Chain A
Amino acid sequence: MKPSSFARGHAEFAEMIMNNRRLLRASAASAPPRETFTQLSSQNMTNTIKAFALVALAATALGAQDSTAGKETPPAPGTPKNFRVPPRRNFTLPNGLQVTLVPFGRVPKIAVELEVRTGIIDQGPNDISLASVTSDMLLEGTTTRSAQDISRQAAEMGGSVNVTPGSEVIAVSGEVLSDRATAFIPLLADVLLNPKFDEADLKRTIDKHARDNAIALSSPGTLAQKRFREIMYASHPFANVFPPEEMLRGFTVARVKEFHTKNFGAKRSRLYVSGVFNAREVEQAIRDAFGGWAEGPAATENPPVITAKRQVDVIDRANSVQSSIWMGTPVADPANADWVKMNVTDALLGGAFGSRITANIREDKGYTYSPGSFIWTRKKASMWVETADVTSNVTGASLTEIFKEIDRLRTEAPPQGELDGIKNNLAGVFTVQNSSRSGLINQLEFVDLHGLGDEYVTNYVKNILAVTPEDVRATAERHLDPQKFSIAIVGTKKDIDKQLGEVKIIRP
Chain B
Amino acid sequence: MRFSRPQVLSLLGLAVIAGACAGGDADTAMPSKLTVDADYYTLANGLKVVLSRDTTVPTVGVGVYYHVGFRNEPRNRTGFAHLFEHLMFQGSGNLGKMEFIKLIENNGGLLNGSTRFDFTNYYQVVPSHTLETVMWAEADRMKGLAIDTANLKNQQDVVKNEVRVNVLNQPYGSFPWIDLPMTANENWYNAHNFYGELKELEAATLEDASAFFKTFYAPNNAVLAIVGDFDATQARAWAEKYFGSIPKVDQPAPPDLSEPRQEKEKRASRVDKLATRPALGIAYHVPPRWTPDWYAMGLIDQILGQGRDSRLYDALVQRTGLSSDVSAGINWGLGNMFNYEGPMLWMVTVFHDRDKTADSLLKVLDVEIESLRTTPVDSATIERARTKMRSSLYSIVEEFSGLGKLDLLASFALFDNDPSKINALEDGFAAVTPDQIMKTAAEYLRSTNRTVYTVVPGASDRPASGTP
Contacts and interface: CB of A to CB of B under 8 A. Distances in A.
Interface band, chain B? 35 or more
Interface in B301-337: 307-309, 313-314, 318, 321, 323-325, 327, 332-336
Contacts of B58: 80-83, 431
Contacts of A364: 154
B271 interface: no
A208 B321 contact: yes
Interface string A70-113: 01111111111111000000000000000000000111110000
Nearest to A81: B58
A217 B159 CA distance: 25
A81 to B, nearest CB: 4
Interface centre among A74, A151, A155 (most CB of B within 10 A): A74
Contacts of A367: 157, 161
Interface string B150-170: 000111111111101110111
B215 interface: no
A219 B29 contact: no
Contacts of A429: 108, 110
Nearest to B61: A432
Interface in B339-376: 339, 349, 351-353
Contacts of B407: 1
A249 interface: no
A63 B399 contact: no
Interface of A: 1-3, 6-7, 18-20, 22-23, 26, 41-43, 45-46, 49-50, 52-58, 60-64, 67-68, 71-83, 105-109, 139, 147-148, 150-152, 154-160, 175-177, 179-180, 203-204, 207-208, 211-212, 214-215, 217-220, 223, 227, 313-322, 324, 352-354, 359, 362-370, 389-391, 420-422, 424-425, 427-429, 431-432, 435-436, 490, 493
B264 interface: no
A317 to B, nearest CB: 4
A220 B464 CA distance: 9
B130 A77 contact: yes
Interface in B27-71: 28-31, 56-59, 70
Contact of B132 (A58, A77, A354): A77
Contacts of B390: 158
A214 B461 contact: yes
Given A7-B395, A321-B169, A322-B169, A389 B161 contact: yes
A490 to B, nearest CB: 7
A156 B384 contact: yes
A106 B14 contact: yes
A316 B98 CA distance: 36
A138 to B, nearest CB: 12
Contacts of B98: 60-64, 354, 359, 363
Contact of B57 (A62, A160, A431): A431
A462 to B, nearest CB: 15
B88 interface: yes
B191 interface: no
B277 to A, nearest CB: 5
A55 B94 CA distance: 24
17 contacts: A1-B399, A3-B392, A22-B112, A42-B277, A46-B349, A54-B85, A63-B91, A63-B99, A78-B129, A78-B132, A158-B394, A211-B352, A211-B353, A365-B154, A367-B161, A428-B110, A432-B125
A6 B392 CA distance: 12
A26 B165 contact: no
A20 B162 CA distance: 12
Interface string B250-262: 0000000000000
B404 A53 contact: no
A180 B390 CA distance: 14
B195 interface: yes
A46 B324 CA distance: 11
Contacts of A366: 153-158, 161
B321 A204 contact: yes
A107 B30 CA distance: 12
A16 B102 CA distance: 21
B78 interface: no
A80 B129 contact: yes
A52 B330 CA distance: 14
B324 A41 contact: yes
Contacts of A109: 391, 394
Nearest to A77: B130
B133 interface: yes
A49 to B, nearest CB: 6
Interface centre among A158, A363, A391 (most CB of B within 10 A): A158
Interface stretch (B1-9, B113-121, B289-297, B431-439): B113-121
Contact of B177 (A52, A156, A363, A431): A52
A26 B109 CA distance: 10
B198 to A, nearest CB: 10
A79 to B, nearest CB: 6
A367 B309 CA distance: 44
A490 B170 CA distance: 12
A508 B56 CA distance: 56
B136 interface: yes
Contacts of A160: 307-309
B16 A108 contact: yes
Nearest to B402: A435
A23 B400 contact: yes
B171 A218 contact: yes
- Give 3 nearest A-B pairs by CB, closest first: A428-B108, A366-B157, A63-B98
A107 B16 contact: yes
Interface centre among B172, B324, B383 (most CB of A within 10 A): B324
Contact of A54 (B31, B89, B114, B468): B114
Contacts of A207: 321, 353
Given A64-B96, A155-B388, A363-B154, A56 B467 contact: no
A503 to B, nearest CB: 17
A177 B114 contact: no
B233 interface: no
Contact of B468 (A1, A80, A313, A318): A313
A315 B466 contact: yes
Interface centre among A46, A72, A366 (most CB of B within 10 A): A46
Given A366-B158, A493-B467, A179 B29 contact: yes
A431 B419 CA distance: 28
B467 A313 contact: yes
Given A107-B398, A108-B31, A218-B459, A155 B309 contact: yes
B107 interface: yes
B12 to A, nearest CB: 6
A71 B177 contact: no
B324 to A, nearest CB: 4
B353 A74 contact: no
Contact of B116 (A54, A148, A203): A54
Interface in B213-265: 229
Nearest to A490: B464
Contacts of A370: 161-162, 165
Given A67-B96, A83-B57, A425 B325 contact: no
A23 B400 CA distance: 9
Given A77-B133, A369-B158, A420-B106, A55 B114 contact: yes
A211 B162 CA distance: 27
B393 to A, nearest CB: 9
B101 interface: yes
Given A18-B166, A215-B276, A391-B164, 20 more contacts: A6-B399, A26-B400, A42-B351, A52-B333, A52-B334, A54-B82, A54-B115, A55-B112, A63-B99, A64-B99, A106-B16, A107-B16, A107-B397, A151-B308, A211-B323, A215-B351, A218-B276, A316-B464, A363-B98, A366-B155
A63 B332 contact: no
A214 B324 CA distance: 12
Contact of B107 (A1, A60, A365, A428): A428
Contacts of B158: 362-363, 366, 368-369
Contacts of B18: 108
